Amino acid sequence: MSTIVWLVVAALFIIIEIGTLGLTTIWFAGGAILAAAAAAFGAHWVVQALIFAVVSLVLLFVTRPIAQRHLMSTQEKTNAESLVGLTAIVTSTIDNIKSEGSAKINGLEWTARSKDDSIIEEGSEVIIDSISGVKLIVSKKQIKGDM
């Protein structure tokens, strides 16, 4: 009977993992499966509980970081994050004091602000340093020989 209980617990953890994709409950499902195996071999419920706890925690703390590292390496940046470091063209003068300015990149016009509060004239090339909400935070592109 306890074998079935552990298998039901494992199934519940797997269902929760499928719903959340947080790489947390899947490790407890592994612990429950090994506890079910121990129950099938007639282990005492205390031994089953210890196997569940130890295996679950070992899986969680040892294999989760490895799994996350491999999963995160294939994750792509969002569209906005991918713009950081690229060059944009100022389409209207950027003046932080007047809360004015825009720049165009990849055919899209964005509100833009200067990183160092300097005024950047229309037509200038700028480097996108970061994105704050829906605003590009930019700095004037330095031309070789410009000091």
Cβ–Cβ < 8 Å for 13, 25? yes
Please say which residue of 47, 73, 99 terminates a domain. 73
pTM here?
0.49
- Name beta bridge partners: 104: 89, 109
User: Which residue in the block uniquely carries the two structure tokens 């833009």?
Assistant: 112
- The pLDDT confidence band at residue 145, using thresholds 50, 70 and 90, is low
- Same domain membership, residue 88 and residue 34: no
Mean pLDDT of all residues in 77-83 = 68
Task: Evaluate whether residue 121 is within a structural domain.
Answer: yes
- Same domain membership, residue 122 and residue 62: no
| Domain that includes residue 14, residue range | 2-73
- The pLDDT confidence band at residue 134, using thresholds 50, 70 and 90, is confident
- Same domain membership, residue 62 and residue 6: yes
- Same domain membership, residue 93 and residue 64: no
Task: Evaluate whether residue 147 is within a structural domain.
Answer: no
Instruction: Provide the domain count of the chain.
Output: 2
Nearest CA to 140 out of 80, 79, 94, 99 is that of 94
